[in-house]
Structure formats: structure tokens, C-alpha cells
Amino acid sequence: MTQIDQQGRGGAATPPPLRILRKAASAGLAMMRPAAALAVALFCGTVLLGLNGFDGISVMIGMVFGVFQDMRSVSEVLLKAVPLILIGAGLCVAFRCRMWNIGAEGQFYAGAVAATFAGVSVEGLTAWLYVPLITLAGALGGAFWGGIAGYLKVRFQASEIVTTIMLNYIALIATSYLVTGPMKDAQAAYPQSARLFREAWIPNLIPGTRLHVGILVALVLALALYVFLYRSSAGYAMRVVGINPFAAAYAGIRTRGNMVAAMCISGGMAGLAGAFEVAGVTRRLYQSISPGYGFEGIAVALLAGNNPLGAILSGGLFAVLRSGAELMQITSQVPQVLVLVIQGIVILSVVAFAAIRWQPWRKG
């Protein structure tokens, strides 16, 4: 396989030191917009809190200090970051290939179901075998669910936006059916699956906290996806399909295969997140296993500018906000609905700033 120069738009002619400088500058600029988006959102949130009779500034400060209060609160943030980074980084790949995968939520559920199925059915394995088995099951489950939408797109030109949204509902309702029916714990009356075998639990990273090794996997995979997208010919081909599928086809790139592959990769990442959630956190499958990670992952990818490395930062940021939102309630008694409004403002602001950035790129 020949290595294709992928330094980007006309960068090859610039001398290396200048190129590095320019890269650093553009990276700095790329960080500016999310920071501005966040600042605007937090400011609006503070004003909103003030209008509702809270001391907005001290609530916000209390939230930030609470989130970074001690080892345990930091570990909780990282725990929340695991699914957000995994889903966000995966979606970066799909979005780079111009596959608007809105179905990460459903793919998360598909992965969670597959992992649970593997985690409650095979007895007598060692942890060394079992943990890889269920993470693989979760990733395959999610990849399969994402792949369906990819196949429908290339075979019937069915809009992946519509099919992934519909597949979300199917996954959610199927999960509800499974935990109230076939997969329901025989001993519990509450709709939940049996507890996963202890050998299937994702090992803890820091004793005394709930943080598991999934965070390391998430970081490594985000890095791997970055390398794949920007340092491999296969990733390059995938990006070309995203920029212009006709040009890609003309250049001999398999557009259909790449589209399905992009959906499978992002679905697999979401499925893996689902597996980690079940095997690393809840140990059981529930009807409402995801609090909307799949949708928040879209905002993570947007804020990251569809760069898997950026998804680490933006995923971490959304985890801080999510953790802080819960804390905001506990320490300041801000009602949940108001917390949800503030979270919504953050996402809206992020999307608005992302749209501003995309405008020239679309014209160009």
C-alpha cells in the first residue's frame, strides 16, 4: 500500500517550522471557539440562575469546586467522560465521512444489550477472557446496529439521519422489552437484568472509587482513531468520501464500503461505551441505562470539530458539566429542570459556535 501525503490543503509547500507554527496557531484558534461557546453558555446560565432567585455566581463556583473537590469527585467526572469520549470520538469518524449518525444512543443500547447477554450467559470464564469477551460483544452489537443504517444508506439511499433516529427507538423499546421479559432478573420485581458475573466486571482503576480501566481504553481508542483518520490511507480515503463522494469514486475509492465502515466504527464505539456502562458501572441492564449519552456525544463531536483527539477534551468538558449539574442540585438546590435548561444552553451555544466556524468551509 502506498502512503499518500496527507498534510492537507496545500501545506506541502510550506517549510516545516512554519508549518508547525501554523498548526499550533490553528489549534489555538480551534480551542478559542469552544472556550467562547462555553463562556457564553455559563454566563447565560448564571444570569438565568439569578433571574430564578439563586446566587448564580456562587452556584457556578460551588459547582466547579465541588467537581474537583477530591479524588472521588474527579474520578466520578472521569467515569462520566468514558462513554462521552468513546461515543464522541466514534462520531467524529462518521461525521468526517459525512454520515450523520444520530443513532449513537441506540448503538449504545445495542452494545449494552449484547454485553449483558454475554455477561450473564457464559459461566466459569476467567476475568482475562471474560472482560475482552463482553467488550467485544458490546462493540460488535453497536457496530451491527450502526451498520444497518449504513447498509440502508448505500443500498437504498435511505437517509441515515432518519434511519438512525428510528433505530434509536427500536433499540430503546427492545431493551425495555428484554429487561421486563426474557432478560429480566428472576429474583427482582423491578425491570432489570440479572447481575453480570463478577468475572465480567471491568477492573477498577483506582481502588475506593468507581473509575474503571475503560477510561484508558477510551483515551487509547480516541488516539487510535485520530491516527486512523489523519495518518493512514484508509482514514484518508474515508475523509475524501466525506468531502466529495463523486471525486472519491473517480479516484477509485470504494465509497459505499467506506460509508458502511464509518457507521460501523462509530456504532462500535457507542456499543463499547454501552458495554462499559453495564460491566463497569451498573453491573445490570436497565430500561434507562443511558441518560442520553448518545445525543450528548453528538455535541461532543461538534465541539471537538470532528477531531477524535478533540473529543477527549470536549468529552471531559461535558462530563464536568454533567457531574456539576448533579452537584448544583445537591449543594444549591437548583431544580433539575433548571439544570437541564442550563445544559441545553451549553449545547446550543456549542452548536451555534460550530456553525459559525463551518460557514466559510462550506462556501470554500
Partner 1 sequence: MGLCVGARAVRIGVMPLAIAGLLGSGAVAWADQLKMGLLVPGSVSEEGWNRIGYNALKGVEEQLGAEVSYVELQQNPASFAKAFYDYASQGYQVILGHGFEFQDAALEVAEQYPDTYFLISSSDIHEGNVIGLNTDTSQPFYLMGVVAAKMGQKAGLVGGMEIPPIQQAFEGFKAGARSVNPDFPISEAYIGNFTDTAAAKEAALSMIAQGADFVQPNASGATVGGFQGIAESGKNVGTFSIFSDFTEVAPDNILGLYKADYAQGVVEVVRSIMDGNPPQSNVAFGLKDEKVMQFTFRDDGPSSVPEEIRTEIARIAAEIAAGNIRTMSN
Residues engaged in binding partner 1 (CB under 8 A):
39, 43, 46, 57-58, 60-62, 65-66, 69, 72, 76, 79, 176, 180, 189-191, 208, 210, 277, 281-282, 284, 286-291, 326-327, 329-331, 333, 335-337
Place of cell 467522560: 81
Q: How far is the CB of 323 from partner 1 (least distance, A)?
A: 8
Q: How far is the CB of 19 from partner 1 (least distance, A)?
A: 34
Question: Nearer Cβ to partner 1, position 39 or 227?
Answer: 39
Q: How far is the CB of 175 from partner 1 (least distance, A)?
A: 12
Question: Nearer Cβ to partner 1, position 77 or 312?
Answer: 77
Q: How far is the CB of 259 from partner 1 (least distance, A)?
A: 33
Question: Nearer Cβ to partner 1, position 305 or 324?
Answer: 324
Q: How far is the CB of 341 from partner 1 (least distance, A)?
A: 12
End-to-end Cα spacing for the chain? 31
Question: Nearer Cβ to partner 1, position 76 or 199?
Answer: 76
Q: How far is the CB of 200 from partner 1 (least distance, A)?
A: 17
Q: How far is the CB of 179 from partner 1 (least distance, A)?
A: 10
